[in-house]
Amino acid sequence: MSTAVVTPEAVESPWVLPSKGRVGMACLIIAETAIFTIFVVAYVYYMGKTTSGPTPREVLSLPIFNSICLLSSSVTIWLAEHAIERGEIRKFGVWWAVTIALGAIFLIGTANEWRTLIYHDGLTVSTNLFGTTFYCLVGLHASHVIIGLLGLLTVLIFTLTGRVKQEHSERVQVLALYWHFVDAVWIVVFTVVYVIGR
């Protein structure tokens, strides 16, 4: 017996398997969801348990503009996905760049918010329980935005140098999946931290 075909006749029906990239990304998203769940649970559990100020009501304001930017970036990246699928590389590049810009605006907004909180309101990780849970949850999300942006930027660079083709649409979509996830997490964070927690 050798390293041979194992059964006598080949099975003739076509043999389709799911794409590696999508499965891998789906798994990563499941794992990340578990991390975020724990941080959200911690945030909710400690809501209102802070023993000293400042409290969320005193210092947090709704980041409406920020959130609109981030959430609409899900739409623009979806448009980009469609464009590359149809082979419209130029259109793809434009929507992709818009997505990155929107993500960057969101990050700048967060940085501004943190600066005010730290220098104006004196809220740091060690100030009180609210500070600890707030910076951890929001910071965890922000760090995912940064990672996402780095990924998107890489693709943008390859697009500008003309190396992205229609056949790469699958990979692009896998990356976009991650971006959609980061957006979805923001909806949860926004609701918990800024709506319920305030």
Could you say whether residue 161 binds another protein (CB under 8 A)?
no
Overall size of the chain counted in residues: 198
**Per CB under 8 A, which region of 3-11, 61-69, 94-102, 165-173 contacts another protein?**
3-11
Residues 3-42 as b or e (16 or more Cβ within 10 Å = b): eeeeeeeeeeeeeeeeeeeeeebeeebeebeeebeebbee
Check binding of 160 to another protein (CB under 8 A).
no
Pick the closer one to another protein by CB: 90 or 150: 150
CB atoms < 10 A from the CB of 112, how many? 12
For residue 116, what is the DSSP state?
I
Do the beta carbons of residue 146 and residue 190 sit within 8 Å? no
**CB nearer to another protein: pick between 26 and 71:** 26
Closest distance to another protein from the beta carbon of 91 (Å):
30
In the complex, minimum distance from the CB of residue 132 to another protein, in angstroms, rounded to a whole number: 4
Q: Please identify which residue in 23, 62, 157, 160 interacts with another protein, judged by CB under 8 A.
A: 23
Give residues 93-132 in contact with another protein (rule: CB under 8 A). Answer: 125-126, 128-129, 132
Site for another protein (CB under 8 A): how many residues? 42
- Applying CB under 8 A, among 7, 61, 150, 195 the residue interacting with another protein is 7
**Cα–Cα distance, 109 to 105 (Å, whole number):** 6
Q: What is the end-to-end Cα distance of the chain in Å, rounded?
A: 71
Residues 130-149 that bind another protein (CB under 8 A): 132-133, 136
Runs of H (alpha helix) within the chain: 20-45, 56-59, 64-85, 89-115, 129-160, 169-189
CA 109 to chain centre: 16
| Per CB under 8 A, 57 contacts another protein | no
Q: Does 20 bind another protein (CB under 8 A)?
A: yes
Binding residues for another protein, per CB under 8 A?
1-8, 10-11, 15, 17-20, 23-24, 27-28, 30-35, 37-39, 42, 45-46, 49-52, 125-126, 128-129, 132-133, 136
